């Protein structure tokens, strides 16, 4: 019971980045437990996926061929059966939208304590994870008891595993019972429309700090004066103040402009995932401790309602 089982994630024919990060996190734990790293890949073209997942540090890849795309009923049954077979110390899954659609059910079914959204994992005779609380304002360390444990890891916190491994790749027969009652009927791309913010060189992006929809014209004036492209963080789109195609972040667009000017955006991890690739990041925020300043190159700690009018004058 010293092995580690990591469950890969793919969508529409491609492994997602978090899959390779899971290998790194899983290997790290397996080194500490002194066990093997097992990787499970469920549904789709599992043979091709297994070849890609055979990276340095991987000992076994188990392929479960049932189904094409993610289906939580298939995943729950596959992971449950593999867990029984491998009897791992730690089960590692992605803290993605699909990860959170099966990991809690697996943990419940196997009676495993579950620590989600881990940004750090230590194993030293027992499992300890690092998690954030209160929208990244604090970090906590959490001891996870029980005989065996389950963890979901946040994306982009571990480097991707590289190289080519010499893992043993073998199909694993689960005998899926697909009487689930949840049926995936298709996919839809959202966020099309008048403008593609991912093409923009200069983005002015607004967040909760704008406070009211009535304050939007102020930002639009800045966008016009400086010839920028307007984008926003999630709450602005949730409120219906801007259309979905303007949303930057994990569930919106990933942008890589020359300059990203974040105004009244605190810099939650979901937002940062969509804009950290910008060449230059400038932040305007009243809170000097806002996480946006951690990734900013330049910053103004101040009130946007005072700074933005001055900035507009600079360009008029």
Partner 1 sequence: MKVLVTVKEVAEVADDFEIEGTEVGERYLEYDLNEWDDYAVEEAVQLKEEGPVEEVVTVTIGPERSEETIRMALAKGADRAVRVWDDALEDADLLDVETKTNLLEAVVEEEDPDLVLTGVQSGDDNFGATGVSLADEIGFQWGAVVNALDYDHDAGVAHVHRELEGGVEELTDIELPAVLTIQTGINEPRYASLRGIRQAQSKEIATKSLDDVGLDAGAIESDLTMTAMYEPESESDAEIFEGDAGETAERLAEVLREKGVAE
- Measured from the CB atom, the residue of 62 and 234 that comes closer to partner 1 is 234
Burial call 184-199: b when 16+ CB within 10 Å, e when fewer = eeeeeeebeeeeebbe
Residue with tokens 């605190």: 266
- Measured from the CB atom, the residue of 103 and 275 that comes closer to partner 1 is 103
Q: How far is the CB of 251 from partner 1 (least distance, A)?
A: 5
Q: How far is the CB of 165 from partner 1 (least distance, A)?
A: 27
What 3-state class would DSSP assign to 193? Answer: coil
The rounded radius of gyration (Å) of the Cα atoms in the chain is 22
Which residues fall within 8 angstroms of residue 210, CB to CB, at 6 or more apart? Answer: 216, 219, 236, 263, 264, 304
- Main-chain dihedrals φ then ψ at residue 256, nearest 5 degrees: -135, 60
- Measured from the CB atom, the residue of 29 and 61 that comes closer to partner 1 is 29
- What span, in angstroms and rounded, lies between the C-alpha atoms of 185 and 278? 36
Q: How far is the CB of 169 from partner 1 (least distance, A)?
A: 27
Q: How far is the CB of 233 from partner 1 (least distance, A)?
A: 12
Handedness of CA 8, 65, 61, 126 (dihedral sign): positive
Q: How far is the CB of 74 from partner 1 (least distance, A)?
A: 13
């Amino acid at each position: 019971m010293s092995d580690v089982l990591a469950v890969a994630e793919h969508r529409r024919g491609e492994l997602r980045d978090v899959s390779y990060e899971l290998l790194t996190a899983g290997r790290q734990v397996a080194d500490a437990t002194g066990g093997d790293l097992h990787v499970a890949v469920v549904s789709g073209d599992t043979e091709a996926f297994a070849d890609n997942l055979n990276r340095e540090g991987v000992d076994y890849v188990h392929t479960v061929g049932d189904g094409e795309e993610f289906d939580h009923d298939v995943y729950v049954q596959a992971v449950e059966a593999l867990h029984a077979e491998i009897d791992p110390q730690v089960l590692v899954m992605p803290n993605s939208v699909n990860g959170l659609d099966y990991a809690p059910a697996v943990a419940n079914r196997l009676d495993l304590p579950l620590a989600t959204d881990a940004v750090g994992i230590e194993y030293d005779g027992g499992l300890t994870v690092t998690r954030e609380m209160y929208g990244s304002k604090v970090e906590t360390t959490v001891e996870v008891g029980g005989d065996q444990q389950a963890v979901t890891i946040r994306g982009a916190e571990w480097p991707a595993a590289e190289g080519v491994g010499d893992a043993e790749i073998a199909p694993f027969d689960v005998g899926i019972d697909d009487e689930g009652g949840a049926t995936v009927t298709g996919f839809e791309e959202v966020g099309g429309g008048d403008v593609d913010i991912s093409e923009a060189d200069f983005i002015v992006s607004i967040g909760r700090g704008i406070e009211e929809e009535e304050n939007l014209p102020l930002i639009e004036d800045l966008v016009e004066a400086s010839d920028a492209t307007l984008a926003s963080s999630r709450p602005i789109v949730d409120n219906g103040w801007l259309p979905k195609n303007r949303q930057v972040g994990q569930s919106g667009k990933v942008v890589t402009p020359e300059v990203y000017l974040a105004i009244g955006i605190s810099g939650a991890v979901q937002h940062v995932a969509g804009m950290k690739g910008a060449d230059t990041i400038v932040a305007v925020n009243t809170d000097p401790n806002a996480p946006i300043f951690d990734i900013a190159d330049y910053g103004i700690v101040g009130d946007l309602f005072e700074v933005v009018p001055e900035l507009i004058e600079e360009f008029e």
